[in-house]
A and B are shown apart, each in its own frame.
Chain A
Amino acid sequence: MNKIFEIPLYPYTRSPDQDAQTPVRRKVVVVGAGPIGLAAAIDLAQQGIEAIVLDDNDKVSFGSRAICFAKRPLEILDRLGCGQEMVDKGVVWNLGKVFFGDRKVYEFNLLPEEGHRRPAFINLQQYYFEEYLVKRARALEAEGAPIELRGQNKVLDVTDKGDHTVLRISTPDGDYTLEADWLIACDGAGSPIRAMMGLDFVGRVFEDNFLIADVVMDADFPTERWFWFDPPFNKGQSALLHKQPDGVWRIDLQLGWDIDKEKEKKPENVIPRLRAMLGEDVTFDLEWVSIYTFQCRRMEKFRHNRVIFAGDSAHQVSPFGARGANSGLQDTDNLMWKLGLVIGGTAPETLLDSYDTERIHGADENILNSSRSTDFITPKSETSRIFRDAVLDLSEQYEFARPLVNSGRLSVPCTYDGSPLNTPDALPGGPARTRPGAPCPDAPLDNGYLLGDLGCRFTLLTVDADAPDTIDEAGITVPRLALSAADDATGALAARYLGDAKSAIYLVRPDQHVAARWDTYDETATRAAIRRATGQE
């Protein structure tokens, strides 16, 4: 049977653009058909904005790669029209076990908060993730949405022309030139576009190697995340076992710095390692093996005039915490509504500067968290190892030490505190988790969930408060979503949106972050907040 990642999903076909006498100008060109590039293009297409995706390949990612998708990206995918497929296929897990040496020191249950449509995380191979996004893009294309995937289209060079970008592209049929009003570079951590533009990617390289393997086996390991510090089968290093769909298990083994990568990747070297880990009597097939080193880096700024970087091309983190693809999806979610308003002529180009402000804030938070996890997992000095081992020893007996064990702080969305788009908090007694800049937490309603009702446009959410049904301000139409604390018998809506307040009004952005909130409706303040949230003040 062919694996999904061996089949060309968007094979090369000749585009009429290649035969044009003068280069064709496209609205938005997205470089890279990975999870972030595809999400970017789908978002644009749903807004009716032309998006052409170029990729030098024509298949989904080889091997599982990003495997852990958190709640927030799943909520974003719901808005992109493919969240359900991901959740249906994905593996939901809540239980984690931590081992130190030859013993289990403790286990934890993530006990996700009730009242959210989506689970805290799913495990899903990146190739499925991309396949579902490609399917969604194809479905949009079939409905007539302006989206196109061009496989085996490799960008050779990029020229900034002020109000547009000129791209030289190579294909199996030869080169052609294409112009783009906007170029979104989602071409990964090694971003060729970034290199062509001579832009720096500054940060820290971790001197370590990890062997990563996808193993197919019929073993009765439970659906849990198992993490080993200094296990007998990989002395002095760490290991991770995680379940994916289709009986595929993901194994990460830390190897250290001074190794021969080519040699370690050979099945005759990998299989004995896995046998030592899984047990002699477990039969398994090796589906994919890779060795990775990792780095925490980011660009100084993500927007360079008409070229905007998103995902790993803009910032790279270590894999601990699943902050790569998860944060990249939040990049495009942040960027695309703003770009839509700028392209539509509603908002000034300067609105896009808030993409830099907000997502650099997000990237720094992710880099900080992932660097700390890495420092715990792979101590860099004798003293840091002594402290690390002390934490693990204590964690077996004493609860207090368990929060100090850091095998990855799993991705949570960041709150854009201090963003220029925020209006100062005007809801006395309101919960901190829904302050201006925060991502809206979900809540159950009688006939569904809050986030589904918020949709992907500006919304005025009222909870036990009066306001007009719609407000038109500065080219933005803001419908009202009128709710009452009584709409949610579980009390989650009141706990998450009212706190100690009796009533609340939230101005929610298209990416479902809070722009402003008040206790009662004030027309002047609301209009000002809409202008502010769209860069028009």
Chain B
Amino acid sequence: MRQPTASRRRVLQGGLATAATVGLMAHTRPAFAYPTRNFNVTIPTGQGGGAERLARAFDGPWSAMLGRPFEYEFFPGAGGQVGYELFVNRRPADGHHLLFGNMGPEMIMYALQRPNYTFPDDYIYFCRLDIDDSCVFVRADSPIQSIEQLVDMAKQRRLNIGTSRIPHPASIGLLALGDATGAQFNLVPYGGGNPTYIGTINGEVEASVLPITGVISQGERFRILGIFNPNQSVFGAYTDAPLVNDVFGTNLPDLASSRSWAIHTRWADENPEHFAMLEDTSRRVFDDAAFAQAFEQTGAPVEALAYGDRELCTNYALAMIELTERYRDVLSAGN
């Protein structure tokens, strides 16, 4: 559902006035001002989720720089496909329509389902906000104390492991771990982070895999057993959980999720000055203490925040497509 803000009417009126002025001055062909109206953001997941909280924390300082507020629409469904299809095919490429998505799981979904839009021809990610390592965790009072113990148990019997979706970097991490160690994991998808927490708390699954910042924000309710990161995790202050590769000597790839702003490629290419302004202002938000503070208020660790530009985002997204191809068989319903 669209969610306008209180200032919408004023903006519309402003928009009419702008249009009239532009009409009068058309013969002089001045450079168009940008932005001329509110930003409309498509979020391809449900409201109340991690994406919304992060986007709202970010939009305070950003909208102050841009001089226009953000309005949100939520289109969950089909692992993000609904939101993306809608954004690419039905939202005008006018620089005022943005998408805020989770590149990891959504690129995996893109690679699996092969929808009728193309990355990066139709849309590009241009501002990564965070790096959210995938992790394995159990509830605080679980008898499973370590990742080694979990793997040992899974070598004896197939363990039920909760996850938000099967096409997700965290799920791929666990399947890759199983491949490397001979452990057997049965992934149980809950359709979102919140239901996965419930399934873990009520003991329906022995452990779960999810991005780490949400798990940390749940406080002492969970114990993190291991982190999927090939190099060095920034979350050492919150958990003494080891890196999975360090424990098992494996070579599992980077399985972090990263949220990012996206925009229509066509608009970015046709309006390089405006796009540069959008890139520049979004990067400067990271220098604003208000952003980190708002993010921290959600209970998530600020260490997760990390800017990434268009090139970095594109490389990350293409790497996710490649990763998906390696695990296509276990991630897809098609025979």
Q: Tell whether A and B belong to one assembly.
A: no
Which B residues form the contact surface with A (CB < 8 A)? none
